Structure 1
Amino acid sequence: MTEDAQAALDRVVARCAAAMRGATAVLGGVAAIATAGAGLGWVVLAVGVSVVWSAGFAWTVVRRGVRGWVVLVDIALTVVLCLAQPWLVAPELRSGGASWVDGLTSMTIVIAHFAWRPRLAVPAGLVVAAVHVVGAWQVGGALGTLGIHVIQIAATAALMTVLRRSAAVADDALADLRATERAAAVMLARRADEREHKRRLHDTVLATLTTIGTDGVTASSLALRARAAADLAVVEGSIDLGEPDTDVDLRHQLRAVADRAEVAVTADLVPCKVPVLVATAFSAAAAQALANTARHTSADTARLTLTTDCASILVTITDTGPGFDPTTIPHHRYGVREGILGRMRAVDGTATITSTPSGTTITLRWPDTTPCPAGSGT
């Protein structure tokens, strides 16, 4: 599933916060130790605490996001460091806002906006900036950094507001797209069900009525009763096809199709296992092709073969009837268009029809792949 824009923003912000806090602590700590004078011990202790906290901060925010309690701890630590500037900042760095504590203060102000909306982040940033001023004032440092921190607070608040609003707009658009996709999927599924229902009616009830209408069977025939019962079972869905991901031997299903055909069928079938839905499509399409041979041609024999090549499974149905032009089939006729072509297309397969005055060959292929090059073997 596509990640929401707000979730993506939170993830990126968390990684940025971890990198910023860690880099500032390490680089600032190195600079602090390098410039420390008589108070080296206090500086080393403060830098150590800052680095350890930064590691815990980074681990937490990367795994769980920038949480409010993490920012509170970060603010508390920064406040302590700001008030301890007389012992942690070298005299030559107390003016101009170039000390390592100045850098940590800026990062804390920015990170607060990553976790909170402006109504909380702005007051928190102002508190940190004010405490920094108090610490700098104790050692006679410049107070010009207050203006820098105020600008940082305003700029970060504006930036995060724009990013969050943009993410919300993107999420709304994504939600609309998903709703449209769900509606389209439901519509496609409904149409697929309708087509399959029409195929079943065509292959069962309509086929039986056609047989009766052409005097193929009498109304009192026991065969008619058996066929009508079978048709009813199919229409009502009482025939269990099995689990969709179950593999079955296609050879057995095609053998049953050949045995039920109204013409004499010569079958040449190799062992071959396919998913049950694919086997059902193959057998139904083959049955329809053989039914068309019996109803619409003078041929009384047909040939049914099952083979495989390097890429696909092939089923061919061949007869010696007079042939027909597949392009002239009326749109309302379901036998070829849905009973054969539609069924194979529904399982990502194909059906091709080659018809001449001396006979017709229907080739069913699954999956729909490019045929093997000549001489590649079977």
Structure 2
Amino acid sequence: MPPGLLSLDPESRDPARAALNRIVALCAAVMRGAEGVVAAVAALLGAVPPVSYAWLGPAVAVNLSWTALFVWTALRHGLPSRLMAGELVVTGAFCLAQGRLVVAEATVGGASWIAVLVTMTILLASITWRARAAVPAGLALAGAHLAGAELAGFAGGAFTFGIHLLQIAATVTLMTLLRRSAGLADAALARLRAAQKESAVLRARRADERMQYSRVHDTVLNTLTTIGAGGAAATSRTLREQAASDLGELERIAAGTAATGGAVDLGEVLSGVAGRSALSVAAELRPQTVPRHVAEAFAGAAAEALTNVARHAGVGEARLRCDGAAGRVLVEVIDAGGGFDRARVPEGRFGLRRSIVERMESVGGGAGVESGAGGTRVTLWWSP
């Protein structure tokens, strides 16, 4: 963006400056529009000899036409530098021709419609350009007004010139402070965005670590726990199949190539989970097609639920159900064991909270646990 160009681009990387630009452009359009109309009315009402309509009529027409163009451009495109250059040319021309456009009495104290128009143009230059351009532009315009007054033989030109100098100083100082404040706000926002990005990266890394831990927990650790609890003989075919599956999962984790795409039959995936369990699992599995990563979440959570049954329920069998209802895929693991009080489960217990609840939440699903004296029901769900 060229220096001094006020853009209305809402996608600016500097939101505070962009907001300032939009507000300034809107204010400029309103103020210049109102001033253009007021100047035209004042010019016509003050048209007494020696002012001639032969000069004043075209001047008023130019003023109104330029005012309309200025307002339209400011509202549509902001305040481009070429628009401000046009404003300086039009107002400067009125200044040099003021001997034919205003009467001497109207110039006392800088009260003529041209002097007021000069004030407006100085303000517009200050909000459009930075000080290094706005100050020379304001001085040039104030000089043009003074020169026009001297050529017409009007008194008080120097006094009006002094007023214009004060206006230049005040408006340039104000806009410099506003731009500096906007710059500080943008710098603070940039630091905030950088911090948020870094935080998001860290959260993603931690989520990935938790997922890897969960995958290890649901495979190798579960198998080792089953062996340690005497749930499988060393020569068990099921144990060999589970060990081979666990080894493949470890290799995928190491390579970072675990499959996540495509669609699979959840019923078939859960059938494998039931077959690898140390329990006697009664499976009721209706075909349900889901994305692969969702099936993996269901499988991991169901495997953890079955492992918990084997460890804590005091029974050797469980039911595994898969069905779909009301646009949701439902999976249930049910046992008839002694149950437990979920409120007494330690907050850091990895299996229930990480391998079941958080695993399902990671794919946009959920999990619920109901337990009592009659047994435990773990419900897993996911909606497409």
The answer to whether the superposition gives a TM-score over 0.5 is yes
Shift of the 115–21 alpha-carbon distance from structure 1 to 2, 3 Å rule, reads same
Report the number of matched residues: 362
Report the counterpart of residue 19 of structure 2 in structure 1: 8
User: Which one-letter code corresponds to 1:357 in the other structure?
Assistant: A
Q: 1:168 Cα shift?
A: 1.7
Shift of the 225–270 alpha-carbon distance from structure 1 to 2, 3 Å rule, reads closer
Shift of the 232–28 alpha-carbon distance from structure 1 to 2, 3 Å rule, reads farther
User: Which one-letter code corresponds to 1:97 in the other structure?
Assistant: G
User: Which one-letter code corresponds to 1:43 in the other structure?
Assistant: L
Report the counterpart of residue 194 of structure 2 in structure 1: 179
Unaligned runs of 5+ in 1: 368-378
Report the counterpart of residue 8 of structure 2 in structure 1: none
Q: 1:294 Cα shift?
A: 3.3
1:148 to 163, 168, 176: 163
Report the counterpart of residue 234 of structure 1 in structure 2: 249
1:264 to 259, 281, 290: 281
Q: Contact 1:249–1:274 at 8 Å: present in 2 too?
A: yes
Report the counterpart of residue 321 of structure 1 in structure 2: 337
* Structural mapping, 1:34-53, within 5 Å: 34-37=45-48, 39-53=52-66
Instruction: Show CA shifts across 1:169-192 (max 9, x none).
Output: 212221221122112211211111
Report the counterpart of residue 128 of structure 1 in structure 2: 141
Percent of paired sites with the same residue: 45
Report the counterpart of residue 83 of structure 2 in structure 1: 70
Q: Contact 2:321–2:332 at 8 Å: present in 1 too?
A: yes
Q: Which has the larger displacement, 1-10 or 175-184?
A: 1-10
* Structural mapping, 1:180-199, within 5 Å: 180-199=195-214
Report the counterpart of residue 364 of structure 1 in structure 2: 380
Q: Contact 2:329–2:381 at 8 Å: present in 1 too?
A: yes
Instruction: Show CA shifts across 1:30-49 (max 9, x none).
Output: 33234435622432322333
User: Which one-letter code corresponds to 1:165 in the other structure?
Assistant: R
Q: Distance in 2 between matches of 1:43 and 1:278?
A: 79
TM-score of the two chains, using structure 1 as the length reference:
0.82
Q: Distance in 2 between matches of 1:156 and 1:226?
A: 81
Calculate the aligned-residue CA RMSD, in Å: 3.2
Unaligned runs of 5+ in 2: 1-10
1:352 to 349, 368, 377: 368
Matched, 1:304 2:317: no
Q: Distance in 1 between matches of 2:275 and 2:239?
A: 17
Report the counterpart of residue 376 of structure 1 in structure 2: none
Instruction: Show CA shifts across 1:271-330 (max 9, x none).
Output: 6x76665554344323321232234331413242545459x7654432111112334445
Q: Distance in 1 between matches of 2:117 and 2:293?
A: 64
